[in-house]
Structure 1
Amino acid sequence: MSLGKIAEQVGLPRSTVQRITSALAEENFVISDAQGGGLRLGPELSSLAGAAQYNIVEHCRLLLNEVTQKTGETTDLAAIRGIGMVFLDQVPGTHRLTTVSKVGEAFPLTSTANGKACLAKMDRDEAIKLIRNEWDRNGIKQDLPQFLEQLEDIRKSGLAYDLDEHSSGVSAIGFAFWDWAGDLHAISVPVPSTRFAEQKAIIEKTLYDTSVNIQRTFE
């Protein structure tokens, strides 16, 4: 993008934009575009994005450990990325039978506890757009008003549930939160459905307490 175009879009004088972009170029946040002229985003932005992800993982690690210690179950940290959820970190449970997902693995929004929790935090129109996109892509026929009522219940309670919806034999509870960059993340506890009923109360209390604590850490 040319300096003139940048100046026009941000509403600043060209000379001011030139000083700002020169400073950014020194740090490799922007670089010259050899093909089209002007400027484009530089390689340091990728490093910065990676550092931000690393920080959120480190920021939440102690809380994930505490949830697992209190419940004995696996605890996951995920983030909404584009049209789905991506797992960033996991603390395995202490039971012999546990649920495990790979870090970096992608999951849907509308059938997972962490996905529903994030949808419930979003603007209604934005959430509907993502819901319809996921259902249309996968040929899913569901009642949208009924699903939106479910999201409203999640907003009120703060907790979202996956009752054998995403994977048969696995249930989960989760909550979502905004980080310091304004990105949506979720912490969830997946449990083999065979012991979900007996673990449900302790997981709900632990996650509710954690949701209150984690929001304070971003204030």
Structure 2
Amino acid sequence: MNAVISDKKTQNSQGIQVISRAAEILRILKLDNSGLSLGQIAERVQLPRSTVQRIVNALISERLVMASSAEGGLRLGSEIQSLAAAGRINMAELVGPTLTELSRETKETVDLAVFRDDHMVFVDQVVGSHRLRTVSAVGEVFPMTDTANGKAALALMEDDVLVSIAARELKTGPNSNDEPSKPLSEFLKEIEDIRQTGIGWDLCEHTEGISAVGFAFKDPMGQIYAVSVPVPSHRFGKLKDRLAELLLGAKNSIVRLI
């Protein structure tokens, strides 16, 4: 009996190891979509070529891997795209309860935006209960460098992408004639602060009389979203610290969800 149990444990362990190795091969192929040879894959995952060959053959049979060229290069297969599409998260639905709770606690409007191309697009909103409140239409497009959600989203990007977007947008700012509306070096320091604190600020920068605070996060596919709370500036100063505290709590809740 003990021998049978031991054999089952060994088989389970070997099965888990194969899955782990297959997952690592898929990750390697994700990083180089031009195609890799068996030798290149084996070198990067540090496994014998024969082991990689067996795993890759199984992945090919399941359409998770495919040949990328006549020379035998390998890349992710069509089934990966199907799985990714099936696994896409309806972010507005997922984080809706968190946004609602945040709006209830602050009595302010809470916005959810997604990064697309070089701007932020509002995709959901919970309207605050104050009589004087800020409301933007779902689908409205916002810039990156003078909004709380845009800055928070930029803070999650690689430096080269960040600089490309920020430099272009700052150069075409409303206060300049081919001169940056704000020095890029100054803006990058602000982004570094956001990377440290997790919170972005808009202090009457985008719209006069309205300030905002926000944070950003990535979904499992790497898409960047941001949550922001816009507030009429006359009451923003008193709420600033409390809003930052509540938003960090909301951020932690969303990160746990996804």
TM-score (norm 1): 0.77
1:136 aligns with 2:136: no
Whole-angstrom CA distance in 2 between matches of 1:188 and 1:205: 13
Q: How is 1:107-186 mapped onto 2 (pairs within 5 angstroms)? A: 107-138=142-173, 139=178, 140-186=180-226
Aligned to 2:249: 209
Aligned to 1:98: 133
Query: What is the identity percentage for the equivalent residue pairs of Structure 1 and Structure 2?
Result: 41
Q: CA deviation at 1:201?
A: 2.3
Matched residues, number? 186
Match of 1:87 among 104, 122, 134: 122
**Structure exhibiting the larger radius of gyration computed from Cα positions:** 2
Q: CA deviation at 1:13?
A: 6.4
Q: Which runs of 5+ in 2 are unaligned?
A: 1-32, 37-66
Please tell me whether the aligned partners of residues 85 and 106 of structure 1 are also in contact (alpha carbons under 8 angstroms).
Answer: yes
Please tell me whether the aligned partners of residues 125 and 138 of structure 2 are also in contact (alpha carbons under 8 angstroms).
Answer: yes
Amino acid at match of 1:205: E
Q: Which has the higher contact order (CA 8 A, sep 6+)?
A: 1
Q: How is 1:10-29 mapped onto 2 (pairs within 5 angstroms)? A: 10-11=35-36, 12=67
Aligned to 2:227: 187
Please tell me whether the aligned partners of residues 83 and 134 of structure 1 are also in contact (alpha carbons under 8 angstroms).
Answer: no
Please tell me whether the aligned partners of residues 151 and 191 of structure 2 are also in contact (alpha carbons under 8 angstroms).
Answer: yes
Going from structure 1 to structure 2, the CA distance change for 1:13 and 1:120 (only over 3 Å counts) comes to closer
Going from structure 1 to structure 2, the CA distance change for 1:204 and 1:100 (only over 3 Å counts) comes to same
Match of 1:56 among 75, 83, 91: 91
1:76 aligns with 2:111: yes
Q: CA deviation at 1:180?
A: 1.5
Alignment root-mean-square deviation, CA: 2.6
Amino acid at match of 2:129: T
Please tell me whether the aligned partners of residues 148 and 213 of structure 2 are also in contact (alpha carbons under 8 angstroms).
Answer: yes
Match of 2:236 among 192, 196, 200: 196
CA displacement 1:144-171 (0-9 Å, x = unmatched): 1111010111111110100000000000
CA displacement 1:168-206 (0-9 Å, x = unmatched): 000000001011111111000000001101221221111
TM-score (norm 2): 0.66
Q: Which runs of 5+ in 1 are unaligned?
A: 1-7, 30-44
